[in-house]
Structure 1
Amino acid sequence: MNLINKKVTHKRFGIGSIVEHNDSSIEIHFASENKKFVFPDVFGEHLKLHDKSVANSLEKIIQKKELERKEEEWKKEEEKKLQRKYQELRLGHEKLMKNHKLHPESQMVFWCDTEEQNSSFAEWKVFSGVIKSGNNQGKPNKPIRLHQNSAVLLTAIDSSMPEKDRRILGVYMVNEDFIGKLCENGYIPAHSEYRLQLTEQESDQMLFWKYYVNEKFPQKMTWNTGKYRYFENSWVAQILRDIVSLKSDPKERELAQQFFDHFCKMNQIIEQELPKPNGALMRI
């Protein structure tokens, strides 16, 4: 809108003529001097345009700017509310973490069937299954031992192969805010960063029973029933350390190393004190 040379009347300085303006300021020549004002804020209460047609057009611009200002204020207020809510959640999680006693078996190993081998990596989550009997029959299992220090190990075995050949397909830390005892739907989502999927060649070298052992039956390799079982923290650390060694691509190796370092930190594991794998396969 061109306002140059348009006549105006100011509440204090009287009649003047617009000599310059832009999106944020306007300069007006009065009888004795030029004055600069904030544009378009000066119009309305302090300054009036003589040209009614231009005044109406300017009023629409002012109304639009006012709506934009209010919308911007509303967005800022909503953002503050979200920040406050997020802060409350973080404080709540920190309190839970502070009171959380680290369980030596707070990791999960999951048996993936053929369909789950695809969906687990496509969606980066697993389903813990449903309760088979009792008052809560049909409700999702709560992975109560899983916390923000927990990882989920994905494994599978071909139907034609013996259990001792069960392979590790991948591993992920649980989502940053995941707390198993609060999980109502049974789904265990992955961390946004710490997640690894092995190639078929890598998976062939990562046998599950190299790490896992039932101390009551140290040479026995049977899964029996259930979709998952809990797993020792140190065993997952051993697996992650071996995955780092497997990776030949520098970027993938770096990510695996970061995953390993993060896992050790979260589970209070000192790398130098981590023993070599001593699962059932190693005891044959």
Structure 2
Amino acid sequence: MNLIDKKVTHKRFGTGSIVEHNDSIIEIHFATEIKKFVFPDVFAKHLELHDKSVAHSLEKVIQERENERKEEELKKEEEKELHRKKHELRLEHEKLMKNHKLHPQSQMVFWCDTEERDSAFSEWKVFSGIIKSGTNKGQPNKPSRLHQNSAVLLTGVDSNKSEEDRRILGVYMVEEEFIGKHCEDGNIPAHSVYRLQLSEEESAQMFFWNYYVNEKFPDKMTWNTGKHRYFDNSWMAQILQDIISLKNDSEERKQVQQFYDHFCKMNHITDQELPKPNGALMRK
């Protein structure tokens, strides 16, 4: 909109002529001086255009600016409210982290089908599954026991093998700030550092049932239903300890040792108190 040379009247300075303007400033030459004003805000209360046609067009510009200002204010308020809610959630999250009480069975083992193995290690996460019955049927399972101290064990058994041949494929700590009771989508992501996948040779030496036992049926090695189950914190420590002994490469051994040290620290486990593996397979 070209306003140069347009006549205006100011409530205080009288009649003048527009000599310059841009998107934010307008200059007006009055009888004895040139004044600068904020554009187009000055037209809302203090300045009147003589040209009615141009004045009408300018009103539209002013209205558009006002609408934009209100939208910007609304956006800022929404962002402020979102920030407030995030802050409240953060405080709640920190409270849960701080007040968490260790459960003696806060580790989780997964039965990985052949097709699931690749995705588990490429995406470094597993899915807790769907609730099969009840009021929450069809919704993802919440891994409520999992917390900062939890690790996820990935296992598998070849189709031509028996259940007692179930091997350990890999293991990871859960993501740094993961809280199972807040997990709505059922996905359990891995820690950014503490994660490892065993080679075929290593996995062949790591039998799951060397560590796991159902105390009600200590002689049985069966996995009849479900894709996962919780198990003892000490069993996971035993598994990590044995993985260390498998490593010949000094750098790999160091990485697993750091994993083990972190896990034991998070679960208040010491080497002196850690029992030897005594799973169902060891009792045969």
Does the TM-score normalized on the shorter chain lie above 0.5? yes
Q: Which moved more, 1:147-156 or 1:12-21?
A: 147-156
Contact 2:153 2:168 in 1 (8 A): no
Distance in 1, Cα, partners of 2:272 & 2:22: 69
Distance in 2, Cα, partners of 1:82 & 1:63: 28
* Cα 1:102/1:53, change in 2 over 3 Å: same
What residue is the counterpart of 1:107 in the other structure?
A: 107
Matching of residues 4-19 of structure 1 within 5 Å:
4-19=4-19
Distance in 2, Cα, partners of 1:36 & 1:261: 70
1:212 positional shift: 2.9
Which secondary structure does the structure 2 equivalent of 1:74 belong to? helix
Which secondary structure does the structure 1 equivalent of 2:221 belong to? coil
Distance in 2, Cα, partners of 1:256 & 1:33: 80
What residue is the counterpart of 1:124 in the other structure?
A: 125
Matching of residues 114-193 of structure 1 within 5 Å:
114-117=114-117, 120=120, 124-128=125-129, 130=131, 143-162=143-162, 163-169=164-170, 171=172, 173=174, 176=177, 178-180=179-181, 187-190=186-189, 193=192
What residue is the counterpart of 1:35 in the other structure?
A: 35
Q: Which amino acid aligns with 1:207?
A: M
Q: Which amino acid aligns with 2:45?
A: E
Gaps of 5+ in 1: none
Distance in 2, Cα, partners of 1:259 & 1:80: 40
Matching of residues 56-67 of structure 1 within 5 Å:
56-67=56-67
Contact 1:111 1:155 in 2 (8 A): yes
Q: Deviations over 1:228-272 (max 9, x none)?
A: 2223446556767859x97x9x9x99x9999878766654568x9
Which secondary structure does the structure 2 equivalent of 1:108 belong to? strand
Distance in 2, Cα, partners of 1:75 & 1:189: 34
1:3 positional shift: 2.1
* Cα 1:116/1:6, change in 2 over 3 Å: same
Q: Which amino acid aligns with 2:10?
A: H
Contact 1:152 1:174 in 2 (8 A): no
Task: Provide the identity percentage.
Answer: 55
What residue is the counterpart of 2:211 in the other structure?
A: 212
The alignment status of 1:89 with 2:89, answered yes or no, reads: yes
Matching of residues 231-242 of structure 1 within 5 Å:
231-233=231-233, 236=236
RMSD, aligned CA: 4.6
Distance in 2, Cα, partners of 1:4 & 1:259: 73
Contact 2:16 2:28 in 1 (8 A): yes
Distance in 2, Cα, partners of 1:220 & 1:131: 29
1:106 positional shift: 1.0
Q: Which amino acid aligns with 2:47?
A: L
* Cα 1:137/1:27, change in 2 over 3 Å: closer
Distance in 2, Cα, partners of 1:59 & 1:202: 78
* Cα 1:33/1:183, change in 2 over 3 Å: closer
* Cα 1:78/1:192, change in 2 over 3 Å: farther
* Cα 1:38/1:109, change in 2 over 3 Å: same
* Cα 1:176/1:20, change in 2 over 3 Å: same
Contact 2:4 2:19 in 1 (8 A): yes
Which secondary structure does the structure 2 equivalent of 1:63 belong to? helix
Distance in 2, Cα, partners of 1:212 & 1:189: 23
1:160 positional shift: 1.6
Contact 1:211 1:235 in 2 (8 A): no
Q: Deviations over 1:179-227 (max 9, x none)?
A: 33x6677x2432585685748658747835398344969x979343342
Distance in 2, Cα, partners of 1:99 & 1:12: 66
* Cα 1:240/1:67, change in 2 over 3 Å: farther
Contact 1:109 1:153 in 2 (8 A): yes
Which secondary structure does the structure 2 equivalent of 1:76 belong to? helix
Distance in 1, Cα, partners of 2:29 & 2:228: 82
